[in-house]
């Protein structure tokens, strides 16, 4: 959580240099883009002048503040897509294991390429690797139940191999934005509780 390194340590570039580079990139852009660059220059100048916020999430993936992204394309085994779709429909949006993990902000399951692949994308806190053995110890069945539907998945009984398998299919996001980069899932719940307590207190006073 405290480990933070810039992914692209090009902080020595001046705003002028960045703008120059941008003009080069957009020299052959469609007309709409060229006009937008000209008209949007003042706002862009502010963005380009701000200190970089892009970090890395452990071995792969992007991170902002405490929140990381994980995006994977997973190839279904035969029949895997149908099975997983059925399973997800039965869950009706209840993900107890994700609640238990405590670091997961969101998850999306998108079936692509004629149900041959799943695009799975999630926002979570911290780095992925440090907790993989905890997943293996605490929620191996929840993990195996959905990941068994993909080719080459080694199973949670081999946490190191499972982590490597996920990393192998991971595609690092080129850019990653988080509105509240220092609000972890746990902190959000803690603040919710405090907010409620404060409201109750105010209700009594008022």
Cβ atoms of 94 and 168 closer than 8 Å: no
Tokens describing residue 53: 């916020």
Q: Which of 19, 37, 77, 139 binds other proteins (CB under 8 A)?
A: 139
Q: Please state, in angstroms and rounded to a whole number, the distance separating the CA atoms of residues 199 and 205.
A: 10
Residue 101 beta carbon to other proteins: minimum distance, rounded to whole angstroms? 5
Radius of gyration, CA atoms only, the chain: 21
Q: Which is nearer to other proteins, 48 or 139 (CB)?
A: 139
**Binding test (CB under 8 A) with other proteins, winner from 83, 133, 144, 172:** 133
**Site mask for other proteins (CB under 8 A), range 150-179, x = bound:** -------xxxx-------------------
With binding defined as CB under 8 A, does residue 96 bind other proteins? no
- Give the residue, chosen from 1, 35, 107, 112, that forms a contact with other proteins under the rule CB under 8 A: 1
Q: How far is the CB of 50 from other proteins (least distance, A)?
A: 21
Q: How far apart are CA 128 and CA 120, in angstroms?
A: 15
Side-chain-side CA neighbours of 32 within 13 Å: the count stands at 0
Tell me the DSSP string of 193-205: HHHHHHHHHHHHH
Q: What are phi and psi of 71, to 5 degrees?
A: -125, 125
Task: Name the segment binding other proteins (CB under 8 A); options: 9-17, 23-31, 163-171, 186-194.
Answer: 186-194
Q: At what angle do helices 15-25 and 41-49 cross, to 10 degrees?
A: 130
Tell me the number of residues near other proteins by CB under 8 A: 32
Site for other proteins in 20-59 (CB under 8 A): none
Residue from the set 70, 72, 136, 147 that interacts with other proteins by CB under 8 A = 136
Q: Is 137 in the site for other proteins (CB under 8 A)?
A: yes
Per the CB < 8 A criterion, the answer to whether 153 and 80 are in contact is no
| Binding stretches for other proteins (CB under 8 A) | 1-5, 66, 100-103, 125-127, 130-131, 133-139, 157-160, 182, 184, 186-187, 189-190
């Amino acid at each position: 959580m405290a480990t933070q390194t810039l992914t692209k340590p090009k902080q020595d570039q001046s705003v002028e240099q960045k703008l120059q580079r941008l003009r080069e990139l957009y020299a052959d852009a469609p007309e709409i883009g060229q006009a937008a660059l000209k008209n949007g220059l003042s706002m862009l100048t502010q963005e380009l002048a701000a200190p970089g916020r892009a970090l890395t999430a452990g071995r792969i993936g992007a991170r902002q503040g405490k929140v990381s992204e994980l995006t994977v394309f997973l190839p279904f085994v035969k029949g895997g897509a149908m099975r997983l779709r059925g399973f997800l429909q039965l869950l009706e949006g209840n993900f107890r294991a994700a609640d238990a993990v405590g670091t997961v902000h969101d998850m999306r399951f998108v079936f692509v390429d004629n149900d041959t692949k799943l695009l799975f994308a999630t926002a979570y806190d911290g780095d992925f690797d440090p907790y993989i053995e905890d997943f293996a110890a605490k929620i191996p069945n929840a993990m195996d139940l959905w990941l068994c539907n993909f080719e080459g998945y080694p199973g949670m009984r081999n946490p190191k191999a499972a982590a490597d398998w996920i990393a192998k299919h991971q595609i690092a996001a080129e850019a990653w934005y988080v509105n509240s980069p220092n609000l972890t899932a746990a902190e959000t719940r803690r603040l919710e509780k405090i907010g409620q307590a404060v409201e109750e207190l105010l209700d009594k006073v008022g």
